[in-house]
Amino acid sequence: MMDNAQILELLKSVKYPGFSRDIVSFGLIKEITIKDDVINIDIALKTQNQDSKDKVIAEIETKLSNHFKEVNIQIINESPNNPQSNPSAEQNKFNLNNIKNIIAIASGKGGVGKSTVAANVALALRENNNSVGLLDLDIYGPSLPIILGMNENPKMTDDRKIIPIEHYGLKVMSFGFISGNDTPVIWRGPLVSRMTEQFFNDVHWGELDYLVLDLPPGTGDIQLTLTQKLRMSGAIIITTPQDIALADVQKGADMFRKVHTPILGVIENMSNLQLTGKIKGTNQNNSENNSIKIDGIDDAINVNPDGSFSININLFKSGGGLKESKRLDVPLLGQIPISVEMMHSTDTGKPIILSNPQEPVSNLFRDIAKKIQSQLID
């Protein structure tokens, strides 16, 4: 007879209607009980569309009817992406009922461009007519104020709630607004946890379609506080292609899995460096293509008759993001190249999706945002 783990694995092939994700990763399966040849399943279906409900139920029955004589499915009134109807006292601390989806942007190590990705993804979601908040939880090294070109202090409501600063159409909050980006933070774990809770308890976010969390790297106190006290819609893992980054990424991704936070996908940043140029003095009347050889690059580079050439250089190896996405059985949401334009836009405080909206990398962020939305139930 099948056990619960085998049943869940089988039900991963049942997609939620209209989405690319399955009902298990959505967290829709709430309880499974088996007695003899009878299986009872409690499933949370938020949709009011009866056809969608019937389709999901029919697929579950089809999958399980070969293994059980009787399949009973009970629909319960519970949102898959929000806290349970009877959450623990810990989970009920945060008053976030007006936020539809909470997405964590995480990385196993620092320096992989996580905050830059978080800012551009949040802005891409905003372009799709969503209300979006962006919360910088990297207490030890808040960088969103620099990336977004912000240098101001948030105001307070009459009941002493912090009002997020509205900037580029986002509601933004960062520890950098409070401490100042030049002030080092020397805090122990309990104080870090309390500060993290304050960003949820004492910030007046209002109604949001998405709250994007820019987490600090690793698996420390902030990550543990969030996973224990907050039901997140999903996490996105940021990595670079090389093996040393992947080793740390695997630890972070496995942490989310252990606390039952869905992983929406992997983004490979600094995927490659594209160089374009032109060799002067080339005979433009020459109809034959020539090539050049660069030390350290295996393949010869084709040179067009006019002397122009283009090359992609894998500075940090290649394929690491795809390898990790396959290990986790989640989508590779995108591969972001090293971009001089993105570097300049980040330093000037205007993310590339705003400063150079027609750049290919800007369209990559838009594509990533669409893939994220396709996995989340409104």
Contact 100, 81 (CB under 8 A): yes
214 conformational bin, left if phi > 0, alpha if psi -120 to 50, beta if neither: beta
**Mode of pairing for the β-strands spanning 263-268 and 332-335:** parallel
The predicted pLDDT at position 192 comes to 60
The pLDDT-based confidence of 105 (bands split at 50, 70, 90) is: very high
Task: Tell me whether residue 177 is in a domain.
Answer: yes
Decide if 208 is inside a domain: yes
Alpha-carbon radius of gyration of the chain: 24
- For residues 309 and 95, which has the higher predicted lDDT (pLDDT)? 309
Contacts 24+ apart (CB under 8 A), 277-285: 277/308, 277/309, 278/306, 278/307, 278/308, 278/309, 279/303, 279/307, 279/309, 280/307, 281/307, 282/306, 282/307
Are 298 and 250 in a shared domain? no
Do residue 283 and residue 346 come from a single domain? no
- How remote is the C-alpha of 40 from its chain's centroid? 33
Expressed as residue numbers, the domain containing 151 is: 91-269+317-374
Contacting residues for 9 by C-beta, under 8 A, at least 6 apart: none
Q: Which of 3-7, 71-75, 124-128, 220-224 has the highest mean pLDDT?
A: 124-128
Burial track 344-355 (b if 16+ CB lie within 10 A, e otherwise): ebbeebbbbbbb
172 burial class (0-12, 13-18, 19+ CB within 10 angstroms)? buried
* pLDDT score at 212: 95
CATH number at residue 198: 3.40.50.300
Among residues 200, 220, 25, 16, the alpha carbon closest in space to that of 138 is found at 220
* Residue at 322 is within a domain: yes
Bridge partners (DSSP) listed for residue 72: 40
Tell me, yes or no, whether 175 and 256 share the same domain. Answer: yes
Better-predicted residue by pLDDT, 26 or 236: 236
Q: pLDDT tens across 336-361, in order? A: 988 888 888 888 999 999 999 999 89
Length of the chain: 378
Residues 101 and 234 in one domain: yes
pLDDT confidence of 283, banded at 50, 70, 90? low
User: Checking DSSP bridges between strand 208-214 and strand 308-313, what pairing results, if any?
Assistant: unpaired
81 in a structural domain: no
Q: Which of residues 34, 52, 76 is at a domain's end?
A: 76
Q: Does residue 83 form part of some domain?
A: no
Span of 49-53, 153-157, 239-243, 279-283 with lowest mean pLDDT: 279-283
DSSP state of 261: P
- Centre a 10 Å sphere on the Cβ of residue 2 and count the other Cβ atoms it contains: 15
Question: Is residue 295's pLDDT more than 80?
Answer: no
Q: What is the CATH number of the domain that holds 21?
A: 3.30.300.130
Higher pLDDT, 148 or 176: 148
Instruction: Answer with the residue of higher pLDDT: 168 or 376.
Output: 168
Q: Is residue 80 scored above 60 in pLDDT?
A: no
Residue-level pLDDT at 327 = 82
154 Cα distance to chain centroid: 26
